[in-house]
Amino acid sequence: MSLMSDFAAIAAEDGRAAMVSIIEGGDTSAKLLLRADGQAEGGLGDPELDRVAVEAAEELMWAERSEMRLAGEVKLFVDVTHPAPKLVIFGAVDYAAALCRLARAAGWRPFVCDPRSQFATAERFPEAEEVFAMWPEKAFASLGGIDKATYIAVLTHDPKLDDAALELAVRSDAPYVGAMGSRRAQAQRRERLLAAGMTEEELGRVAAPIGLDLGALTPEETALSIMSEVVAVRHGRSGGRLSEAAGGRIHEVAG
């Protein structure tokens, strides 16, 4: 199969890859395909150009956007295909049900994990892609691990579950790890995790309390607060009011 056919097949299977093409300043028939596992195929006719192409493809593949890039006098186009991002929710609670509904409406793939099988059921979370009645380590393994497009929300109030999920999450490639709880509960969790050997740097990766400051009261409003923070992180935004934004593009155009 040609590289273009391979790329099309990956896209059809809802996979992840990036195709780099020269659109100006070189051989416009040259292609380089980078797969999610880092395997590169093809080439652009120059080792340095290939290096730049692979770096751009790796970055944009996980940023989940297509973009033009300049490599000296050569103009490249990086075409990215990717599945919907994953939101892994720990805690089979009412907040999780509301968050699943909102994540699904936003085009995300929500997963619910909780070892308490009486709560972690598909019937309680019909919008979830899958429900895992298992401890965090097994749940992450069942998901195929945690990649750079996996966002994690810990909504339980049980230290055994919270701590087990957070210890794995902060040491993963997840770009976002958030945890629910009052400031007092957060302080107690912090002391427990430090005592368990977690570093200050690792703890600094946890968004806690989780979500943006919307004044949320209900599970639905809380889900909106959490989802708003997750989306902002995904797009490299602060989550402030658009009316107070300094400038630049207001709404990103999907690639």
Q: Which domains does the chain have, with CATH numbers?
A: 3-81 (no CATH), 86-234 (3.40.50.720)
Q: For residue 85, what are its two tokens? A: 């991002």
Beta bridge partners of 24: 75
Give the residue-averaged pLDDT of 137-148: 91
pLDDT at 239 > cutoff 90? no
Closest Cα partner for 222 from 122, 153, 121, 142?
153
Q: Are 74 and 49 in contact (CB under 8 A)?
A: yes
pLDDT of residue 186: 85
The average pLDDT across 232-249 equals: 78
**Band of residue 253 on the pLDDT scale cut at 50, 70, 90:** very low
Q: Mean pLDDT, the chain, as a whole number?
A: 91
pLDDT at 254 over 70: no
User: pLDDT at residue 251 above 80?
Assistant: no
pLDDT digits (tens, 9 = 90+) for 218-235: 999 999 999 999 999 998
Record the pTM. 0.85
In angstroms, the CA 215 to CA 227 distance is 14
Mean pLDDT of 145-154: 93
pLDDT in tens, 117-141: 999 999 999 999 999 999 999 999 9
Neighbours of 74 (CB within 10 A): 19
Average pLDDT over residues 91-100: 94
